Structure 1
Amino acid sequence: MTSGETGLTMLGHYQVAELLGAGGMGEVYLAHSPSGRAVAVKVIREDLAAKPGFRERFAREVQAARQVSGAFTAPVLDADTTGPTPWMATQYVDGPALADVVAERGPLPADDVWRLASGLCEALRDIHRAGLVHRDLKPGNILLADDGPRVIDFGISRVVDATALTQSGQILGTPLFMAPEQFRTPRDAGPAADVFALGSVLVYAATGHGPFDADTPYAIAWNAVHEAPDLTGLPDSLHPVVTPCLHKDPAARPTPTDLLTLLSSRRHRRTTARATTLARTRRTRLRRTTLALAALTSAALASGIWTWLPGTNPDGKPPKPLATATAPRPTPTPVRLPGWKPWTTNLLTSPDLMGRRLDCRYEFSALWCTGAGVLAARVNPLTGKVRWLQKGSDHMNRTPVLGTSRWSTLTVDYEKDGSSASRRIRTFDTETGRLRKDQVISRVHSCVTLQETLFCSRGGKISAWEPVEMTHMWTAAPGWDLFEPPTGSLPTRVHVVKRDAEGRIVEVGEITQGDGTLLWNREVDKDTEVVAISDSGFVYTASPTRIDMTSFTRRDRRTGAEKTVELATAEQLLGVTDDVFYSRRGGVINAYDISTERVLWSSTTLHEDFSAPALSGDRVHFTAEDGTVIALDRHNGNALWQQPPPKSDMLIGSAPPPFDRLPAPVVLGDIVIAPTFGSRIHSFLAPQPGTTRTP
């Protein structure tokens, strides 16, 4: 069945390509984002969407799934839980389900099961760190990609299950892979239940059967609660991992981190043993390689193509690449949103705001903007039409914190009540912009929004609220403050900092979103400024500050290992993206690869100030001080094109106030949306390389 046969062509801004499969909840399609990125879109069945309360439950499950990100999970990218057809888009994983592989090819070899176990342990560790429990880890929810397994559908399967046992509403999960406590007291099932499911999955992968197989769900439940596991056919090497996972007592089971330690030690022993064998064959391999290179060189000379082989340069310089005749690269077809046309929109007209610019981002198939005079606005990215706008004070001296979801939009503005700082929290209906809540929280130092939750540093602790009705969830992490990510970026984890008596950051860490438990912490040099903390655990600092940076450092929070780049003169940091530091010195933009501790490139421009970088494909984009958007090749810094703002904006010629950073452009494939002066936004198609357009 194709997308045309189902009548589905677009879901949000995703172009539907083909049907991948169907299940109890609906169908899954391969689709593509405007930039060409492949995604998997799950479309919910109409009869389920019509059931009372289903959409609310589905929305909560999407919210939970958004909290998880890691190398071995498929993160949620977008969703629509309120439209006529509810759907959820996740990263597309090109690989079969473990259940299909075992059914078609039989049990996996022991070594493959060990590698599978390592990936699944890392996935469960990430899920549990987010304060979540999967509760339905099974072979059908594990995809086998080339670079490792991916866990999908965490939490989603709790909404509906195909078995009579789970349809009763008392049991959540798939009986074959459920822990004893899930049958006894389902509400009390915690992370240890996922570890039990892991053991069952590994038995299935290695033997083709589950450890508690039976003819009926009730018999399976009896076996899981009362009987010893059936490990027939399980290789002896896997018993040390599987057996403790299947302990009846949840407290006696290892954690995913414990299991990773065990798996790593076993891998180390295998690597050491393998070294002896490799040493014996090294001479033979070297001889064969020499003969093969000689033959390759002879063939190359005979055909008239000169091939530079490793280590053959007489001047000691790095080897040159293979020189072959290549055809000119064809001009790619522009990637644009269906129905898009160039547009310019003016959100406000106020003389006091002519020198100020809005901060916009693309999320949930809409453009969301905030800034001086604008608390929040929802704009159609195809036409520039303003769906709704909530005005703020013309005298706001900072951009409000903005959080968005499918059902609510939240803003955090700054107020004062005597000597202590307060924040005014407003929530609006996402569809209509109608005000839902207006609440002032006192004694607040900083706030961030993340995964449908509001976090604020308050009274020396971190507090969390559900943003729709501003229901308080928890208060934890005494002595920690929130780390405020760079303005305009979308955080995916709750990072925290500790400060000394002078307010300097001396320690960084991360807390769970579910209850504020501290996950990790690492000391940092108090004479540096922490500028970014990556999801992978790297802490980036600038010395002494990002404004007059003379060096920058990346520290691994796990090992403490550091990479540092020393600068000849002071530069201003623009941003850190994909392990690359972007900075400026006057009108020169520099890019530094922190992993190699070297400069990637320097690009001279005719401008003086720039926004944070916005990456798309092979391009990196910046907004300049006069509203011009420039695009550089992210690999070598070559100038690709420049797009000035609309002519009327060019006449303003006013730089933003010192405290107002330049907003980065929003890039959707080859569509660029850029705020300019006077609360105006314009959208244009990326010019061809080498183009400098005039207004």
Structure 2
Amino acid sequence: MAPQRNTGAGAEAELPEYAGHYRLESCLGSGGMGVVHLARSTSGMKVAVKVVHAEFAKDPEFRSRFRQEVAAARRVSGAFTAPVVDAAPEAERPWMATLYIPGPTLSEHVKRNGPMAPAQLRRLMAGLSEALRDIHRAGVVHRDLKPSNVLLAENGPKVIDFGISRPKDSELRTETGKLIGTPPFMAPEQFRRPREVGPAADIFALGSVMVHAATGRGPFDSDSPYVVAYQVVHDEPDLTGVPEDLAPLVSRCLAKEPEDRPTPDELMRDLRSVAASYDTQAFIPAQRTDDSDVPKSAAGPEKPRPERRLRKRVALAVGALGLVAVGAFASIPLLSDGGPPRATTRSAPADGFHQWRTPPVSGDTSAPHCSYGAGKLLCARSGLVYALDPADGTLLWRHVVATAPRSAPPVLSGGLVQPLLGEGQRMEALDPASGRTRWQRSVPSHSGLRSVGGMLLITGRDGAVTGVDSASGDTKWRRRIPGQSMPLFTSFPGDPTAYATSVSDDGSSSRVTAVDPVTGDVRWDARLSGQLEPFASSDGSLFFLSVDRFYGDAVAVVRYSPKAKLSRRVPLPVRRQDAQATVHKNVVYLLASGGSLEAVDTDARKELWHLETSVSRGSAPVADDAHVYLTAADGRLLAVDARKGTLVGQTPSRLGTNADRVAASLPEPVIADGHVYASAPDGTVFAVDGRDPARW
């Protein structure tokens, strides 16, 4: 049989007859990355097969991305997605086959039939909430949920397309030039902090999808993707036309801050209160069988916490106390409004240290973000900042803030505790001994905030930077930083310098400006090759990840010595997705999505070891002379031998009662005085001896 021909726009001139054992019968559509076919297996089963365009098949970078898409689709295969039947990412023309699901996309349905009826909208929202719950539980963030990626099947909506983003799908780039999705359905953090995007971004997209389904337009609407991006970050959504009973849920999904959005499970619970039962008719009206309908293949081409409700969970306290007997951990009773309790501890070993664990503060369960300062463990979570005694976990003080801090630990700056709050909130500096407020000041909306060198640097919407004394709260200077139109600073422990990095329009180079936080003066300025993201400083050198232009995958480690004006680049053996890194004595430890951990020696310019940890999502790693530590999404703390790259210890998982909550970012462990402190999704903070992980 001669090859099939297709004259559709963007399709291949000649199409293959088979993909593996699957005979390609007809073309369902063509996208930026490949052609989607209706095909049959040897037994006659219908499948949808995506065959990659020939031009991309020759690109090693694209093949790597396609392998990741196949892996993600396989991981989430289930009732709410199109199950992967087979795939050959290494074939001459890579392809992936999924179960064929007849039905139009949500985009096609709304275009033909207009906005959905209220009953259909409720069922759509419930179905997509269930789908996102399963996707997030599998450790995957879709990042590009939109009407064209939702199939309307008889038994409910199916989410498809796990290729992240396609080159032709987005007209916008991140600050580093990475294509990140489709602007009308992207969350604010995808524009502001793209490397911090987590499951909550999918919830925001769900809100936008629901507005489209209810009205035929989005909550932010403009012909220009740049205007849409501004609206998403700054403006309130337009919910005109959304049914009154659904509008509050959709509004919560569209909250500007990830932590203010509900989880999929909470959405489903609230939807049950909106309507006790859902219409049991076929999900799609009968008119969808019109000959003009062209079903889209399920193989088409290509992160949350609810608004907090403080709960008193006595059961959790009882469970925590029970662990004392079986796990040899100290435990603190459930914290109440009656003041700090005394910690119950077992007898300490000869070196004076014992392992301990606290129950959730105020009964709310989510992982606190902690740091070490002023001889205390300083933690922030759910509208609360508090201090623990690092010796036994005793609560020393707590301070309620008006709104929840960002997903970042408090920092000690100017001798005071500085909670890093969200945008447009009132800043408070706290006494580290008592937790009392020492000074307050408002922070402008949509500003960047960084604490460094006894100063707070606030970047305004106009790009000007204000230097605030951390000890007094007084403004010391205000100016623009030469060469940086909108400087968003990074800083690192022990380094009294603030760094602003921007990328050239073509993505070929990065400009790095080192600023004295006390005066605002520029200490040095350099233009380095590649798209660089700073992650650490050590021994007078600044360390970067060099990332791919389109997808943001880490492709190399770069070490820059400003005194010598010398840049050293170490290519990674394999590109790493969503990489997080740390450095210890010029050895970089890098954790990628899926749990790949590796050590890179920047002196010898080579990889020392590589370990597959099996952690689907992990925190940024931290390291000392002996071990590398990281926290898993299920609350485990893992220790890896820093020299050999072998797993040497891990704590039990601690998911807690709200296992449906998937945080946008995971708190990294804290190392202090040979001890390791970590937190878990059940709300606990715990301490272990870093010298002997095998005993954890």
| Higher share in helix | 1
TM-score of the pair, normalised by structure 2: 0.44
TM-score of the pair, normalised by structure 1: 0.44
